[in-house]
Amino acid sequence: MDWMEGNLMRTLVTGGAGFLGSHLCDYLIKKGHYVICMDSLVTGSLDNLKSIESDKFLFIKHDITKYIEIEGDLDYIFHFASPASPVDYLRYPIKTLKVGALGTHNILGLAKAKKAKVLIASTSEVYGDPEVHPQNEEYWGNVNPVGPRGVYDEAKRFAEAITTAYHKRHNVETRIARIFNTYGKRMKKDDGRAIPTFTYQALKGADITVFGDGNQTRSFCHVSDMIDGIYKLMMSDYVPPINLGNPNEITILELAKYIKKITNSKSKITFHPLPENDPKTRKPDISKAKKILGWEPKINFEKGMEELIEWFKRIFF
């Protein structure tokens, strides 16, 4: 099928070679979209797109902080371009700020020109180290703008602000997804996030490195649930930011012990100093997503972890 026939939605995914972006590309193609995937490949990988065999898919290598040119119409834009793991955004602090600011500005300008509906991938990190628990969308956050995590947190907070301004000033159809911790296939083994780090360490028999005393909490959503929520948000008419995540909370130490157990690992759990401004708690209030989108996570954590571990064994061992 040719998109020129007018029978396909034409959709741009920025950061489409990343973890979430590549799963989104898969999902959209199955939904019948013609997908243009744009990625600079600074942190994304073409390996994440290898499974896509479709004439409804186009990859463009491009840095969206530079001028973006797309021929023809666009119906939807999913803006997922950004380093997202602590290892990546600490390695590329200025690129992270630029893609959140200049990149988002360029994407919104493109959406305005093409009259496309645009969804911005924001993050639970806009809440910083929260003083409200669980975190709801009305909470303004507790962020240190000059701390090490500030480059990511403030890039996303700015992205939300400029997206809201484009909606109010230029009537661009915008959506803002505040994405909480997500896990699944295609995560990098060394990206600094708890699940892939612990899984790789346990399978390798290396020490499982827990920061602080391990009593800080996180909530983990399977990638298939997350992508479903993102799509439902785009297809809704809801403009303000909305939380997407799994409210089932677990301590980091409990997670380390669980992964050690299910991998039958002989690894030792070791404790290391807590990184600066590391959030003590992270749990989404998803009342709005349930009510407005009719969405909540469905994938059982044990089932999701089993799938991830099998994938890690196949890819890395």
3-state secondary structure of 178: strand
In 117-260, the DSSP E strands lie at 117-123, 174-179, 182-183, 208-211, 217-219, 221-222, 242-244, 249-251
Q: How many CA atoms lie within 13 A of 44 on its CB side?
A: 28
Strand partners, 118: 77, 174
CB-CB neighbours of 237 under 10 Å: 7
* Residue type (1 letter), 232: K
On whether the CB atoms of residues 234 and 33 are closer than 8 A, the answer is: no
Q: How far apart are CA 312 and CA 63, in angstroms?
A: 29
Buried b (16+ CB within 10 A) or exposed e, 46-64: eebbeebeeebbebeebbb
Tokens found for residue 158:
């700015």
On whether the CB atoms of residues 268 and 207 are closer than 8 A, the answer is: yes
Q: How far apart are CA 99 and CA 83, in angstroms?
A: 9
Residue 152 annotated in active site: yes
Which whole-number Å values give the CA distances from 68 to 4, 31, 95, 213, in the listed order? 21, 25, 17, 46
Q: Which of 76, 152, 166, 183 is catalytic?
A: 152
On whether the CB atoms of residues 199 and 160 are closer than 8 A, the answer is: no
Which sequence positions are flagged as catalytic? 152
